[in-house]
């Protein structure tokens, strides 16, 4: 039982007080004096004990039975219905002409304080049992860093001048870099490189190096999953997968959540590497990637791995399979 912070009597003391009066014929003043409380308080507990038994000795809520300015239940149901349609608290408040704090309090009380996946298709989570059983690959495009930090840091947007190439096409001088990533489904062990494009030949070269990386960690890749980007749909990529002895799987169109582990890794990578520091040049940013990857794989606690880094999960799975004594 949770007692009030200022309670003078514990549950046992209340029980003793009431039994002295009801069963042992003590006077109310004698029982109150022995318990070192007022007669009024002693009378309250005795009255409750006679009416409800020991259940009456529990603390009761001090909340009022009725609130004169409580939000009507119909309005609460309307708020809940709008929330299920994924309206934000601010949107609901504006639509119903209510204070945002009132709407936020009601949303918290009815258990929908955070949108999350509310109203969406339930998440279908899966995890492979063996390292290398499935590798997720993807590409993230990043703007090059030219002449120091960009608008994310300075708040000022600079122009992107163009020039005409030999073919007579005008191209922007500040282009893009492409971060190719590969992450193991079972262990979340990750590999990434910053490359100049996302062409099929580039994706194939990255895949070869990624497989070698995972091989150095003691396991062979069986399957590779990607989205439906042109590089992954190319014949060159198909031939490379066949030559490397891996099966290529592609997600359904417009279903990026199927490749969710790659998407989540990219989100973490952007927050902790790409946008976590002020870089003067793209080369400086690229040079920092290997250090961050090592930390991610060997030191950083992972929420889905019981707060362990991927390397620790790899060791556990290898031990289960008998790879180490």
CATH number of the domain to which 242 belongs: 3.30.420.10
Query: 31: domain range?
Result: 11-57
Paired tokens of 24:
């042992």
**Based on the domain organization, do 182 and 296 belong to the same domain?**
yes
Model pTM?
A: 0.64
DSSP assignment, residue 142? Answer: E
Q: How far is it, in rounded angstroms, from Cα 14 to Cα 11?
A: 5
Question: Residue 4: what pLDDT?
Answer: 64
DSSP strand pairing (190-195 vs 176-184): antiparallel
Q: How far is it, in rounded angstroms, from Cα 290 to Cα 131?
A: 22
Pick from 48, 54, 50: nearest CA to 11: 54
Question: Residue 183: what pLDDT?
Answer: 97
Q: How far is it, in rounded angstroms, from Cα 221 to Cα 155?
A: 44
How many angstroms separate the Cα of 160 from the Cα of each of 12, 147, 152, 156, 239?
A: 78, 11, 15, 13, 38
Asked if residue 125 is part of any domain, the answer here is: no
Question: Residue 59: what pLDDT?
Answer: 83
Q: Report yes or no: 127 and 261 within 8 Å, Cβ to Cβ.
A: no
Q: Is the pLDDT of residue 242 over 70?
A: yes
**Based on the domain organization, do 181 and 250 belong to the same domain?**
yes
How many domains, in total, are found in the chain?
3
**Based on the domain organization, do 111 and 213 belong to the same domain?**
no
**Based on the domain organization, do 111 and 177 belong to the same domain?**
no
Q: Is the pLDDT of residue 185 over 90?
A: yes
- Terminal Cα-to-Cα distance of the chain (whole angstroms): 50
**Of 219 and 57, more confident:** 219
Which of 66-70, 144-148, 219-223 shows the lowest per-residue confidence on average (mean pLDDT)? Answer: 144-148
**Based on the domain organization, do 104 and 189 belong to the same domain?**
no
Q: Is the pLDDT of residue 173 over 80?
A: no
**Based on the domain organization, do 105 and 233 belong to the same domain?**
no
**Based on the domain organization, do 111 and 139 belong to the same domain?**
no
Asked if residue 129 is part of any domain, the answer here is: no
Collapsing DSSP to helix, strand or coil, 124 comes out as coil
**Based on the domain organization, do 211 and 302 belong to the same domain?**
yes
Q: Report yes or no: 183 and 135 within 8 Å, Cβ to Cβ.
A: yes
Pick from 323, 134, 322: nearest CA to 217: 323
Q: How far is it, in rounded angstroms, from Cα 125 to Cα 289?
A: 28
**Based on the domain organization, do 106 and 234 belong to the same domain?**
no
Asked if residue 309 is part of any domain, the answer here is: yes
Question: Residue 170: what pLDDT?
Answer: 65
**Based on the domain organization, do 23 and 146 belong to the same domain?**
no
Orientation angle between helical segments 89-96 and 100-109, nearest 10 degrees: 120
**Based on the domain organization, do 285 and 253 belong to the same domain?**
yes
Asked if residue 102 is part of any domain, the answer here is: yes
Most confident residue range from 163-167, 234-238, 260-264, 314-318 = 234-238
With cut-offs at 50, 70 and 90, classify the pLDDT of residue 10.
confident
Q: How far is it, in rounded angstroms, from Cα 177 to Cα 131?
A: 29
Q: Is the pLDDT of residue 72 over 70?
A: yes
Q: How far is it, in rounded angstroms, from Cα 148 to Cα 174?
A: 12
Asked if residue 130 is part of any domain, the answer here is: no
Question: Residue 321: what pLDDT?
Answer: 52
Name the burial class of residue 49, with classes exposed (0-12), middle (13-18) and buried (19+) by CB atoms within 10 angstroms of its CB. Answer: buried
Residue with tokens 């961050």: 292
**Based on the domain organization, do 36 and 92 belong to the same domain?**
no
**Of 155 and 297, more confident:** 297
Pick from 140, 142, 141, 134: nearest CA to 250: 134
């Amino acid at each position: 039982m949770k007692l009030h912070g200022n309670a003078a009597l514990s549950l046992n003391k209340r029980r003793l007080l009431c039994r002295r009066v009801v069963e042992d014929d003590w006077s109310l003043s004698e029982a109150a004096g022995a318990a070192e409380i007022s007669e009024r308080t002693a009378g309250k507990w005795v009255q409750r004990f006679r009416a409800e038994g020991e259940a009456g000795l529990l603390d009761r809520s001090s909340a009022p039975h009725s609130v004169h300015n409580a939000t009507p239940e119909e309005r609460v149901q309307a708020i809940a219905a709008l929330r299920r349609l994924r309206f934000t608290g601010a949107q609901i408040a504006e639509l119903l002409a209510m204070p945002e704090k009132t709407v936020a309090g009601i949303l918290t009380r009815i258990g929908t304080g955070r949108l999350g996946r509310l109203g969406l298709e339930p998440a279908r989570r899966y995890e492979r049992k063996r390292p290398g059983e499935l590798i997720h690959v993807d590409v993230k495009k990043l703007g090059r860093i030219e002449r120091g930090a960009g608008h994310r840091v300075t708040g000022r947007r600079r122009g992107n001048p163009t020039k005409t190439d030999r073919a007579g096409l005008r191209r922007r001088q500040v282009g893009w870099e492409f971060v190719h990533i590969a992450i193991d489904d079972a262990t979340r062990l990750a590999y990434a490189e910053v490359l100049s494009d996302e062409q099929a030949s580039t994706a194939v070269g990255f895949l070869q190096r990624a497989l070698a990386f995972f091989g150095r960690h003691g396991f062979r890749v069986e399957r590779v999953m990607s989205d439906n980007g042109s590089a992954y749909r190319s014949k060159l990529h198909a031939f490379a997968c066949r030559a490397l002895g891996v099966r290529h799987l592609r997600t359904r169109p417009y279903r990026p959540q199927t490749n969710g582990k790659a998407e989540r890794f990219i989100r973490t990578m952007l927050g902790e590497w790409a946008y976590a520091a002020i870089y003067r040049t793209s080369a400086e940013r690229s040079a920092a990637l290997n250090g961050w990857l090592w930390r991610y794989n060997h030191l950083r606690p992972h929420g889905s791995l019981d707060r362990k880094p991927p390397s620790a999960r790899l060791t556990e799975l290898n031990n289960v399979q008998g790879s180490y004594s």
